[in-house]
Amino acid sequence: MALPDLTDEQRREALAKAAAARQVRAEVKNRLRHSGASVADVLAEAKRNEAVAKIKVLDLLQSIPGIGKLTAQQIMADLSIAESRRLRGLGSNQAKGLVAEIARRG
């Protein structure tokens, strides 16, 4: 699939939109890391916000204090969540299991 030819203005708008989405995702992960926001809050926000919905579950888990890469991978394996899965792609049982597991570890 070839990329469409964009004018300079369209390219600048696309770059600005992508930068804004990255900023939103960084703020969400920072809230988890420092403010004590819950995974349930983030999952609810993902239903309303496209940028948040594109966060990978692995990245989200690693943003939680006390959970590193190996622990995050183990949680995902236990809940049958693929490493490439994003928040938007979680099933209802996977989301409930994720919230319960983080609360249990909490």
Residue-wise pLDDT tens digits, 73-100: 999 999 999 999 999 999 999 999 999 9
Taken in order of first residue, the domains within the chain and their CATH numbers are 12-105 (1.10.8.50)
Question: What is the token pair recorded at 18?
Answer: 């992508």
43, 11 Cβ separation under 8 angstroms: no
* Distance from chain centroid for Cα 1: 27
Tell me how many degrees the CA angle 90-99-67 measures, rounded to the nearest 5.
100
Q: How many CB atoms lie within 10 A of CB 28?
A: 23
91, 97 Cβ separation under 8 angstroms: no
pLDDT in tens, 17-70: 999 999 999 999 999 999 878 999 999 999 999 999 999 999 999 999 999 999
pLDDT of res. 50: 95
pLDDT in tens, 51-65: 999 999 999 999 999
pLDDT of res. 30: 94
Q: Which among 35, 28, 105, 92 is positioned nearest to 60, based on CA atoms?
A: 28
pLDDT of res. 6: 84
pLDDT of res. 37: 84
